Chain A
């Protein structure tokens, strides 16, 4: 139903989430980190970007603020593994920078899918 860009550095989580999103009939493009995601965004404009916050190279937070500038209509969902330093602080920050909603791992995938549907629905209403 939607074009989703998944940005996640953990291989297992990336593969699992891709399957979960595909099962929900979404079209998924994957990126291993922020830099790869920025590259993909040059040619593709997804409806939703689901990105991890703490990643090597370009961090998820930087990605979010950059993307929000160039693709203001794209919905962003931030996810985080928690643990290091102050994870909830990062999630709050990501929301202030442009993420519509954030989740802490391990995520309830049903809730994630519902959030995606709601955001899409909202977008459709606007456009």
Chain B
């Protein structure tokens, strides 16, 4: 509507100008200009003022529009960024949930397989023992059958580990001071660690969580053993205990965690690190980069399950050739809460 007004105004102005010009022309032609000079100047003055006003108004409108559209563009960009951010967050949450479900499914599958596997191992063991009884003890056959029994024992051990991973266990949770728990675990671990490896434990904040002592020890043992293996028995493992408050941007790495305060444990090693592909699979059951017989590939998937049982989160940052940083988050225990809580998770 404004543009219509403006264009009609323009025509109107042009019309007025033409009329004035004709009037002037007529007056000059009839030599009566002198009589009306004052009036002519008044008319032109008014017309010029009017024109100037319109011009100024148009310019003002134009600049106002420019500011508005700049503002609109800025707001649009902000909203797009927020939407993209939310979408990314949702995708990360989906991936995290899918990962958790996969591990759960694998656990159930492993449990089912273990039953049949135990039957198979038992049959093989029984037949082998009987056969061994029927051959002379100094024969090669006797020795070889002994090796078969050794292999069976290894198989038994593997199945037991699988079952530990997949079994639904009810663990007692109680309020624990993280510092004390870590100190206790490190005391157990230190004798088993090679001399070339230094464990540097730093406490940046104290924190109480609801957890199970045995499971927490298990986490630390598995993670630190992994770190030691990655370092070829030389280097430093830095363990940092601190807190993260609700809303901290660090928590964006863990979209599945609820909004609250968390106790954070960071374990950094100076080992050979991992590439992106390996890092993505490191919590997968049975996934290992170690040679056959040197690792079951279950250690970190057990850690992942335990973290889930504690309603916490785990994430890894790694650079090939530089080392790995594992971040563990535990929900903080709010307020005074002493005594045991029996909590069955999963």
Determine whether the beta carbon of B113 is less than 8 Å from that of A83.
Answer: yes
User: Is residue B121 contacting chain A, with contact meaning CB distance below 8 A?
Assistant: yes
A105, B119: Cα distance in complex, Å: 7
Determine whether the beta carbon of B118 is less than 8 Å from that of A106.
Answer: yes
Interface residues of A in 1-35 (CB under 8 A from B): 10, 12-13, 15-17, 19-20, 23
Determine whether the beta carbon of B126 is less than 8 Å from that of A16.
Answer: yes
Best-buried of A16, A54, A85, A104 by chain B (most CB within 10 Å): A16
Chain B neighbourhood of A82, CB < 8 A:
114-115, 118, 159, 163
User: Is residue B292 contacting chain A, with contact meaning CB distance below 8 A?
Assistant: no
User: Is residue A84 contacting chain B, with contact meaning CB distance below 8 A?
Assistant: yes
Residues A12 and B116 in contact in the complex (CB < 8 Å), given A84-B111, A106-B156: no
Determine whether the beta carbon of A83 is less than 8 Å from that of B118.
Answer: yes
Query: Which single residue of chain A is at the shortest CB-CB distance from B127?
Result: A16
Determine whether the beta carbon of A10 is less than 8 Å from that of B167.
Answer: no
Determine whether the beta carbon of B112 is less than 8 Å from that of A106.
Answer: no
User: Is residue A45 contacting chain B, with contact meaning CB distance below 8 A?
Assistant: no
Contact-residue bracket for chain B: 20 to 34
Chain B neighbourhood of A107, CB < 8 A:
122
How many whole Å from A64's CB to the nearest CB in chain B? Answer: 19
Query: Which single residue of chain A is at the shortest CB-CB distance from B155?
Result: A106
A88, B133: Cα distance in complex, Å: 32
Determine whether the beta carbon of A83 is less than 8 Å from that of B112.
Answer: yes
A83, B116: Cα distance in complex, Å: 8
Chain A neighbourhood of B112, CB < 8 A:
83-84
User: Is residue A86 contacting chain B, with contact meaning CB distance below 8 A?
Assistant: yes
User: Is residue A56 contacting chain B, with contact meaning CB distance below 8 A?
Assistant: no
Interface residues of B in 228-268 (CB under 8 A from A): none
How many whole Å from A39's CB to the nearest CB in chain B? Answer: 24
A21, B152: Cα distance in complex, Å: 21
Determine whether the beta carbon of B118 is less than 8 Å from that of A81.
Answer: yes
Determine whether the beta carbon of A20 is less than 8 Å from that of B123.
Answer: no
User: Is residue B130 contacting chain A, with contact meaning CB distance below 8 A?
Assistant: yes
Determine whether the beta carbon of B129 is less than 8 Å from that of A12.
Answer: no
Chain B neighbourhood of A23, CB < 8 A:
130, 133
User: Is residue A109 contacting chain B, with contact meaning CB distance below 8 A?
Assistant: yes
Chain A neighbourhood of B159, CB < 8 A:
82-83
Chain A neighbourhood of B123, CB < 8 A:
10, 12-13, 15-16
A19, B95: Cα distance in complex, Å: 52
User: Is residue B290 contacting chain A, with contact meaning CB distance below 8 A?
Assistant: no
User: Is residue B168 contacting chain A, with contact meaning CB distance below 8 A?
Assistant: yes
Query: Which single residue of chain B is at the shortest CB-CB distance from A112?
Result: B126
Query: Which single residue of chain A is at the shortest CB-CB distance from B123?
Result: A12
Interface residues of A in 79-127 (CB under 8 A from B): 81-87, 104-107, 109
A49, B126: Cα distance in complex, Å: 19
Determine whether the beta carbon of B152 is less than 8 Å from that of A86.
Answer: no
How many whole Å from B8's CB to the nearest CB in chain A? Answer: 86
Determine whether the beta carbon of A86 is less than 8 Å from that of B118.
Answer: no
Chain A neighbourhood of B114, CB < 8 A:
82-83
**What 0/1 readout, one digit per residue, does chain A (26-67) give for beta carbons within 8 Å of chain B?**
000000000000000000000000000010000000000000
Q: List 27 A-B contacts (CB under 8 A).
A: A12-B120, A12-B123, A13-B119, A13-B122, A16-B130, A17-B126, A19-B126, A20-B126, A20-B130, A23-B133, A54-B115, A81-B115, A81-B116, A81-B119, A81-B122, A82-B118, A83-B111, A83-B117, A83-B163, A84-B112, A85-B168, A86-B167, A105-B118, A106-B122, A106-B156, A107-B122, A109-B125
Which residues of A line the B interface, CB within 8 A?
10, 12-13, 15-17, 19-20, 23, 54, 81-87, 104-107, 109
Instruction: Rank and list the top 8 A-B pairs by shortest CB-CB distance, nearest first.
Output: A83-B115, A83-B114, A106-B122, A12-B123, A16-B126, A105-B122, A105-B118, A81-B118
